[in-house]
């Protein structure tokens, strides 16, 4: 039986402030740090241990992984960080308040920007794209650095990571933990669960809750389950969906 555990990072400062984050490197809040430890404790209680962990190059994910590893008493396992697990790039919306953006452009437009499969937010001007000068992206061809991304664009970088890095490790028997972001997880979940372009619009990922997949030998999902209280998880998902309301 193959398993995979996915966790969205804990609450970030811009989750709390209700701002579009994308590739901005915002840190966790104290609540986010506590959520990371709780996720690790829940995994430990359920008997999970891991051989390797993968995360993005953004500190809200890295710090979440640290909290999970600490609670699991597995600080020693190999960790791979990769930009392909980053949050979807939010283009010119990065840093804007979601409720204010909904008040200005309408909730429907904000839902399209947040959740549609193939409509990207307005792009950053190339000259304003700080990722071009950020050493963590120095190994990339500048053409790979986006000025904005829709979910389809995020799928186009997350899926190669799945096929090249995650799936072979899982197939070889490694116990793999992935700490990622709301939309890089939506990209992976869309593929794994074969969710349509229309249905993915309603999928929201809660912060700091382990999502456990069980696969058959072909890595087709047999079961998936969030670890934790179902009502609390549903409330967290609804809170994410409601971030795009004008209030």
If one asks whether residue 114 binds ligand 2PG (CB under 6 A), the answer comes out as: yes
If one asks whether residue 22 binds ligand 2PG (CB under 6 A), the answer comes out as: yes
| Among 15-23, 31-39, 49-57, 116-124, the segment contacting ligand 2PG (CB under 6 A) | 15-23
Tell me the three state secondary structure of residue 178. strand
Please give the sequence-ordered ranges of beta strands (E in DSSP) within the chain, or none if there are none.
2-8, 52-55, 79-81, 176-180, 211-215, 221-226
Beta carbons of 221 and 194 less than 8 angstroms apart: no
Task: Give the active site residues.
Answer: 9, 87
If one asks whether residue 137 binds ligand 2PG (CB under 6 A), the answer comes out as: no
54 is in an annotated binding site: no
- DSSP secondary structure string for all residues of 24-60: --PPBPHHHHHHHHHHHHHHHHTT---SEEEE-SSHH
Residue 219's Cβ-side half-sphere holds a number of Cα atoms within 13 Å equal to: 14
21 is in an annotated binding site: yes
Angle subtended at Cα 83 by Cα 93 and Cα 36, rounded to the nearest 5 degrees: 85
Selected binder of ligand 2PG within 11, 154, 183, 184 (CB under 6 A):
183
Selected binder of ligand 2PG within 35, 87, 147, 149 (CB under 6 A):
87
For residues 185 and 162, give the distance between their C-alpha atoms in angstroms, rounded to a whole number.
11
Selected binder of ligand 2PG within 5, 20, 84, 179 (CB under 6 A):
20
Annotated binding site for substrate: 8-15, 21-22, 60, 87-90, 98, 114-115, 182-183
Q: Which residues bind ligand 2PG (CB under 6 A)?
A: 15, 20-22, 87, 90, 114, 182-183, 240, 243
Annotated binding site: 8-15, 21-22, 60, 87-90, 98, 114-115, 182-183
């Amino acid at each position: 039986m193959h398993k995979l555990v996915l966790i969205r990072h804990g609450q970030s400062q811009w989750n709390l402030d209700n701002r579009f984050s994308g590739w901005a490197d915002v840190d966790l809040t104290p609540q986010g740090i506590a959520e990371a430890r709780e996720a690790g404790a829940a995994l430990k209680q359920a008997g999970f241990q891991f051989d390797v962990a993968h995360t993005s190059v953004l500190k809200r994910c890295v710090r979440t992984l640290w909290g999970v590893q600490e609670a699991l008493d597995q600080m020693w396992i190999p960790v791979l960080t990769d930009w392909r697990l980053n949050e979807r790039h939010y283009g010119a919306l990065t840093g804007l308040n979601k409720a204010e953006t909904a008040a200005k452009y309408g909730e429907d437009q904000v839902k399209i920007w947040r959740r549609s499969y193939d409509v990207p937010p307005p792009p950053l001007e190339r000259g304003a794209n700080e990722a071009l000068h950020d050493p963590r992206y120095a190994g990339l061809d500048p053409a790979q650095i986006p000025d904005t991304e829709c979910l389809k664009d995020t799928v186009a970088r997350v899926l190669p990571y799945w096929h090249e890095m995650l799936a072979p490790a899982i197939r070889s028997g490694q116990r793999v933990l992935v700490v990622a972001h709301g939309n890089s997880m939506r990209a992976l979940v869309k593929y794994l669960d074969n969710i349509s372009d229309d249905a993915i619009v309603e999928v929201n990922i809660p912060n700091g809750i382990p999502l456990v997949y069980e696969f058959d030998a072909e890595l087709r999902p047999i079961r998936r389950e969030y670890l934790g209280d179902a009502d609390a998880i549903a409330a967290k998902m609804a809170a994410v969906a409601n971030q795009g309301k004008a209030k």
